[in-house]
Amino acid sequence: MATQTQRQGDADMHRAIDDLVGVFTDPIIIWPGPWMDTLPEWIRSAITTERLIESMKAAKGETPTATDAEALAYMYPLSLEQPMDSEWAKIYLYLSTKVVARHKKTEIPEDIKVESLDDYHMQHLKELKDWIYERRIKARRERQRAVKAQAMREIEARAPEQLRLGV
């Protein structure tokens, strides 16, 4: 008989595996619009890399959140569709500065580089990243429910055959 501690450990292990698989399979949450299909491939790769890092941080007890690359990806099509107000433009340039330097190994031009944010802007960025993460996890759960429901339909459809009822 499994103890409460063993069951909790099993649940934690399953959650960790689910999160690790999610690094590679979770959807990229992106601003819906006409430019959403133009997200550069290097940003997609950066998202996977940064999700792995976030997953390792979460395994060590940190609260999981979306990554800088995910926040940049979310804002990318919006930046092409309409002007952003100065607050969000500053956040977007901050994310661009960080993600481009980290993954493209190039620099953003000095006249648009934003290397830090004040507490007010950081709070907005945190809220955006938390919102993106929640949507990502919600999409994962919905996909898992759909897969499970499909598997159950297939099992039910094969049931007479498995019972050799010939129906």
CA distance 73 to 46: 10
- What is the pLDDT at residue 97? 96
* DSSP secondary structure, 105-153, as one string: -----TTT------HHHHHHHHHHHHHHHHHHHHHHHHHHHHHHHHHHH
Domain ranges of the chain: 20-141
> For 24-82, how does the pLDDT look when each residue is reduced to its tens digit (9 = 90+)?
999 999 999 999 999 999 999 999 999 999 999 988 989 999 999 999 999 999 999 99
Tell me how many degrees the CA angle 92-97-132 measures, rounded to the nearest 5.
45
- What is the pLDDT at residue 165? 60
Q: Does residue 23 register a pLDDT over 80?
A: yes
**Are the C-beta atoms of residues 67 and 54 closer than 8 Å to each other?**
yes
> For 70-129, how does the pLDDT look when each residue is reduced to its tens digit (9 = 90+)?
999 999 999 999 999 999 999 999 999 999 999 988 889 999 999 999 999 999 999 999
